[in-house]
Amino acid sequence: MTSKRLIIFDYDGTLADTSPGIRYCYNATADAMGYVPHLAREDFFGVIGGSLEDGFHKLWPQMTPEEISRAVVQYRERYASEGRKLPAPLYDGMRETLMVLKKLQFRLAVATLKHERFIHGMLEDNDIDGLFDAVCAYTGSETKSSLLRKACTLTEVSPEESLLVGDSAYDGKGAKEVPMDFAAVLYGWGFRQKEETAPYAPVMVLNRPAELLAALK
pLDDT of 78-121, one tens digit each?
A: 999 999 999 999 999 999 999 999 999 999 999 999 999 999 99
Q: What is the DSSP string of 116-182?
A: HHHHHHHHHHTT-GGG-SEEEEESSS--HHHHHHHHHHHHT--GGGEEEEESSHHHHHHHHHTT-EE
pLDDT at 141 (0 to 100) = 92
Q: Is 97 in a helix, a strand, or coil?
A: helix
pLDDT of 49-76, one tens digit each?
A: 999 999 999 999 999 999 999 999 999 9
Portions of the chain given CATH number 1.10.150.240: 19-85
Portions of the chain given CATH number 3.40.50.1000: 6-17+90-216
Q: What is the CATH number of domain 6-17+90-216?
A: 3.40.50.1000
Per the prediction, the chain carries an average pLDDT of 97
pLDDT of 118-138, one tens digit each?
A: 999 999 999 999 999 999 999
**151, pLDDT greater than 90:** yes
Question: Torsions phi, psi of 60, nearest 5?
Answer: -135, 75
CA 76, 153, 80: angle at the middle one, nearest 5? 10
* Per-residue exposure over 166-177, b if at least 16 CB sit within 10 Å of its own CB, e if not: bbbbbbbbbbbe
The model's pTM is: 0.94
Class of domain 19-85: mainly alpha
